[in-house]
Amino acid sequence: MKVKLNHWSSKPDLKVLDPTFHGTGIRGVESKRREQWPQYYVDRIYFGTGKYKPEVGLGQYKYTIEVNSDDLYNMAKDPKEFAAKSVDQQKVFNVTKMEKLIKRAGYLGAFNPEHPVVAIFKPIRVLPPKK
């Protein structure tokens, strides 16, 4: 099944969105996770699902992609049990480590159905934006 996702940018002429540019828009808690666990941190591009309401400060250009839902890992269902493999010696779960395992397993991205956002871990072509 195909899933439609949207990303907002201030740039009107993008053809490919690249996770290595992560953090050039709105800075979030990920910058702290990147500093805390650089060995696990995975660059990403955030896309909203149909229920997502864009945050203040996001760009005005809306880029859309369609991806196969099988290429996105459901972190809540966790069928490959990556969460169990992401617990440290103190028995503390590390979502950053889980994301690294998901990317290594070959998934395009990951999501939690409780949140209207999908993290894409690989460069991806986009359709021309809508304003």
In the chain, the DSSP E strands lie at 2-9, 16-17, 45-48, 61-68, 72-74, 109-111, 117-120, 124-125
Q: How many other CB atoms are there within 10 angstroms of residue 109's CB atom?
A: 24
List the domain boundaries for the chain.
Answer: 2-125
pLDDT (tens, 9 = 90+) of the chain, 131 residues, equals 999 999 999 899 999 999 997 765 566 667 777 788 788 889 999 999 988 888 787 889 999 999 999 999 999 999 999 999 999 877 888 899 999 999 999 999 999 999 999 999 999 999 899 76
Residue whose structure tokens are 């397993």: 105
- Is residue 99 within 8 Å of residue 21, measured between CB atoms? no
Q: How far is it, in rounded angstroms, from Cα 36 to Cα 85?
A: 19
Q: Please calculate the CA angle 22-26-27 and round it to the nearest 5 degrees.
A: 70
